[in-house]
Amino acid sequence: MLVSVSLLLVIASLVTVHTGRVKSLEHKILLNSQNQVLSVAAAQGGLAHGISRMKTDPNWLGEEHSVIMENSTRAIVRADFNQVQRNDMNTRWATIESTGLSPDGLSRHNVSEQVLRYPLLNIIPKAPLISTAPVPEALTLTLGANPNGGGVGVPVSIWSGEGITDLSINSATCTLQIFDENRCALDAYSDHTQISSDILSRHEQFPIDVLQHYFHIRMPDWQFLKSEASKIVNDCEEATLGDSRVIWVHGDCELDVRQHIGSEHTPVILILAEAALLMPNESRVFGMVIYISTHLPAVPKRIVMATGAHISGTLLLLSSIDNDMSQLVIRYHTDLLARLQQDDDMQRLGKISGSWRDF
């Protein structure tokens, strides 16, 4: 009897010990699983932090640093930057690496991804007026040409895929100095008497899709350009626009007298979505103005500039405007357009497809 009881006690003890070991092993497995989940989340959070820092801090050189996450997890983030030549300018891309650590530091997880930092404006426009639509004789225009638009010392005033046979009697293109002296009509490259080589019409190099040429966005996908806007407005009142750099207007853009949109130091991209542009005396737009139609059939609107008003930069016509009621005055500005392409807040980030790694 005593032996039987002893055997039962031994068996019970062995079962208890085995059960304890199993429970302990299950607890360790659960803890390891939780740590793995936490370290993976921390690594992904660190990667997102690195991408965000690359976007907001152009001076970051990829130095390793720690980021504290929720639940006491943390990530160690670093980046390797590289330069690539793209459209005659240096573009940066980086491999961002993140190591996520569980709260107890026992679990580590590594992820990495390559990210390209690129300008929203892909190519600097080479003419004050670029048009996919016909430029008829009825349209009145005064243009200060890009002195090197066709190469060093080769001026370009209009670049178009359509034919241009005549200019109106009040139209003229000229050098930037003559434009600034308000003498275009007296010393013109092209006017109603002659069309000179500064007007490139039916040009063989004119892109099939102009929007894609300048922004890598196909014309049917214009919504992606709208999504890049920092402000979407119905009018162009100063209080409405603030200091936005990319502005989408779907109502008439009527400026006040002497109102400026943008400046020489902070030029803008002003997108007129079937919106009229009305510029009274001494008003100014610094940067790139894009006139685009988002509906079919398109309803042409006016672009009118009064005495002393003009666009300093370029006008991109992606649809026909109301030529009979429009008057264009545009002065090309190389440095301003270069700034529009190169400024830090005009850069965008894109993840390189297939570059994500977790090993």
pLDDT, residue 322, reads: 92
Which pLDDT score, from 0 to 100, does residue 16 have? 64
Q: Euclidean distance between the first and final Cα of the chain, in Å?
A: 62
Q: Which two structure tokens, joined as six digits, stand for 318?
A: 């992606």
- pLDDT for res 22: 53
The confidence score (pLDDT) of residue 153 equals 95
Instruction: Write down the pLDDT at residue 290.
Output: 98
pTM of the predicted model as reported, rounded to 2 decimal places: 0.83
Amino acid type, 187: D
Predicted local confidence at residue 136, as pLDDT: 86
- CA atoms of 158 and 139, how far apart (whole Å): 13
| CA–CA distances in Å: residue 87 to residues 122, 195, 284, 299, 338 | 8, 30, 29, 35, 12
Q: Please give the distance of CA 309 from its chain centroid, rounded to a whole number.
A: 27
CA dihedral 164, 284, 221, 340 (to 10 degrees): 100
User: What pLDDT shows up at residue 105?
Assistant: 85
Does residue 309 contact residue 315 with C-beta atoms inside 8 Å?
no
Phi-psi region of 30 (alpha: psi -120 to 50; beta: other; left: phi over 0): alpha
| Rounded distance between C-alpha atoms, residue 209 and residue 25, angstroms | 64
What secondary structure letter does DSSP report for 132? S
Short-list 129, 126, 162, 121, CA closest to 291: 129
**Tokens, residue 93:** 């891309």
- Domain boundaries along the sequence of the chain: 2-118, 129-346
List the beta strands (DSSP E) in 293-354: 303-305, 310-317, 327-331, 347-351
* pLDDT, averaged in runs of 10, over the chain (359 residues): 65 61 58 83 93 88 90 92 73 91 90 93 96 91 97 96 92 97 96 95 94 94 95 88 91 94 96 95 97 89 94 96 93 96 90 88
pLDDT at 15: 61
The DSSP letter of residue 298 is -
